[in-house]
Chain A
Amino acid sequence: MAAMSDERSGGRPRPRGPARWVLGLLPLALLAGLVAFFFGADPTAPFRDAFPPVEDLTIERVSFPENGVMRVHVVNGGPEAATIAQVIVDDAYWQFEIDGDATLPRLARATLELDYPWVEGELHVIRIVTSTGLTFDHEVAVATLSPRPNALYLTTFGLLGLYAGVLPVLIGLLWYPFLRRIDRKWIHFYLSLTVGLLAFLVVDALEDTLETSALVAEGFQAAGLIAVGFIGAIVGLRALGNLGRGMGGAGSGDAGGGGVSRGLTVAYLIAISIGLHNLGEGLAIGAAFSLGEIALGSFLVIGFALHNTTEGLAIVAPVADRRPALRHFAFMGGIAGLPTVLGAWAGGFSYSPTLATFFLALGAGAIVQVIVEVTRLIRKSWPQGLFTPLNATGLLLGLLVMYGTALMVTA
């Protein structure tokens, strides 16, 4: 490509030979030929008989729609089809109905329904036996009736999201008048503090991502999902930021270090990023409730609430020396907080480790990009950026504050 455009920009005559589209498609055609040959000639056939069957079923979720009934959601993450032959629950064979064929092709899903007298609050182990006698286990730590998407649960999960996400962010935004009244030097202290908060969140989110990715069926390539989500968020938000600057920042000019719009763009970017992050947090809250683990503590919600209040501060810090319209605060609060509600709904009614991993990675990437933006903002005024004594203190303090509030989140 580069060579070609060079030739064209050099104004040289087009070289003779096949048409450009032929040159573009030739490697693809050769690749297709290679794949076809591989399947046709089957060069690995001599090895195959010696190999044990490659089966890899994953039980993504077990739900308890009513007393005496359990549903087992299975996905085939292995490279080959696998056949579910029997199911053992707590070391007893148990009859089941399957919603379709018992043989699952690669990446196919199935739901098994069992009449099983599960016990509220107790542990159950579900084991799938395939036709080759291999077994795949899933442990339900605490069995509890699964929430159903009715008005009561929608409201409950909505309120949980509100408590954990929206309200704390809005409360955090109330620091704006305070920030307005302090010295410019201190604003950058608070911006640095924000970077500290966010840096902690990145590590925290990545840990959550990796933890959740352990539950993802192998075929769905958790590592790839994380790469796409994490890098995609960084690149996507960066492009979005440039677009925002291009539209709003052109008039005010760069000479003045950006007007209201520059700080506002960063604030919105932070809000969007935190929103993406909170979507993942919402999934965690909803899932914890539906998996019965919330019995271990509504602490989770309180912890997230304290945690998220600092996120409000992160949003308003970039606009502390500007004067944006009030509606912007409402918008930014909504963008940052409401995804918690959406996440709680999604996580509560149909938790998917695959989606959760993707969104958690997306959230982590988003925060990385926010750190970059805020750092740039600080640099505008202070060439040493984060590493003036005061700013560095702010950053470290931010990390410590997050650590302190994270201690509240036990689950």
Chain B
Amino acid sequence: MKPERLSRRDWLKLGAAGVAGVSGATVLDLASRGGAASALAASGAMPREPGTAGATGGPHAGHQEAMGIVGMPGPDGPFDPAAFLTDFDYGEVTTRADGRVVRRWELVALDRDIEIAPGVFFPAWTYNGQVPGPTLRCTEGDILQVEFVNAGSHPHTIHFHGTHPPEMDGFEPIVEPGQRFTYEFEAKPFGLHLYHCHTMPLKRHIHKGLYGTFIVDPPEGREPAREMVMVMNAFDSNLDGDNEVYAVNTSAFYYHHHPVRLGVDDLCRIYLVNTTEFDLINSFHLHAGMFKVFRTGTRPDQYELTDTIMMCQGERHVLEFRLENPGMHMFHAHQSEFAELGWMGFFEAVERLAAGEGVPVRDRGAHGGHV
């Protein structure tokens, strides 16, 4: 991020119609292209279709859709951003003799080249071969056992946010390649947390991909909603201490090309985590709607209503909203630079989503809650 260049960016100046016009234009086009997406990916380059962005014409017509990547973002090996968005890993559940719920996971540190934008590969360090790592979800009071296996080339750990004994904090011991360690603690307090490697040099271990979301549900659960997890992350692909790709859930522009389908007026909930390295802050902005921010997800009775939220690295909030109108709603970082470097997407609000369509609704029953 080079601040002196920010003034040069004309993104927001581009259309007098403002950013709302942006989403409209791009989405109409996406919709009309429909299945052409995969054909575009196959051709390796987006065809130029000047003038489709608006009737205003002029030399800049068509630039709204010329922004972005060449090719179509898709699944990358074991990691599919579409599935990851709504994938919550509740672990292997057993009940102890005293009636406490025990959840068990295995996380394996692996080196893997991941695709962060079409055709751009990044030598990542991962949990279970994916960046971000699996979204671990439990209920306050559960006993958690996370068995960590280091199959990578460097020493790693898992450091969980939340309350637990210091010896389970993942600062020590360092788990050397080929070794394993089991973290065991009680899940508390309820809220939205995260986990990440805490081996020095910390900056490198985090920015290379060792992080994930850790959700502790309140004992009484939250109101059923269409639930998503979004990890704001970024990649310094040329290792110059400055990010080249920004995204939610790793893949640049993924939800821009594959809009997230939601029902009009349905309660929607985002578990939003910021793990961006190198930049001081990241942010989330929703178009054509407002959302409630539950900071760290720890106080269901306290929230702020806004459409833009700024977050430091490691901060995470639960967002809730209902989209009142059908159509495309853009969401992106409100740092224009991050947005245009990949952190940009669409919600597509649909009047009546058929069962099994779009982002699934989750309530306490959906994940078994208390067994």
Contact = CB atoms under 8 A, between A and B. Distances in A.
Interface of A: 66-68, 83, 85-88, 90-98, 102, 114-117, 119, 122-123, 125, 129-135
Contacts of B69: 86, 93, 95
B45 A129 contact: no
Nearest to B117: A86
Contact of A92 (B9, B45, B47): B9
Contact of A133 (B14, B48, B238, B340): B238
Given A67-B59, A96-B45, A115-B63, A131 B116 contact: no
Nearest to B122: A133
B22 to A, nearest CB: 13
| Max chain B Cβ within 10 angstroms of own Cβ: one of A92, A98, A131, A133 | A133
A97 B50 contact: no
Nearest to A92: B340
B119 A125 contact: no
Interface of B: 2, 5, 8-11, 14, 44-48, 50, 59-60, 62-63, 65-70, 116-122, 235, 237-238, 240, 244, 252-253, 337, 340-342
Contacts, number: 107
Nearest to B49: A115
25 contacts: A85-B118, A86-B70, A86-B117, A86-B119, A87-B70, A90-B9, A91-B2, A92-B11, A92-B67, A92-B337, A94-B66, A94-B67, A95-B46, A95-B48, A95-B66, A95-B67, A95-B68, A115-B48, A117-B60, A122-B8, A125-B5, A132-B121, A133-B122, A134-B237, A135-B238
Nearest to A98: B45
Question: Which 5 residue pairs spanning A and B have beta carbons closest together?
Answer: A133-B237, A92-B340, A85-B119, A67-B59, A115-B66
A93 B14 contact: no
A134 B238 contact: yes
Contact of B70 (A67, A95, A122, A130): A95
B68 A93 contact: yes
Contacts of A83: 119
Contact of B63 (A116, A123, A130, A133): A116
Given A93-B342, A96-B70, A135-B244, A123 B122 contact: no
B341 A131 contact: no
Nearest to B62: A115
A67 B45 CA distance: 21
Contacts of A91: 2, 5, 9, 337, 340-341
Contacts of A98: 45
Contacts of A88: 244, 341
Nearest to A66: B59
Given A117-B60, A119-B10, A133-B235, A93 B252 contact: yes
A65 to B, nearest CB: 12
Contacts of A133: 116, 120-122, 235, 237-238, 244
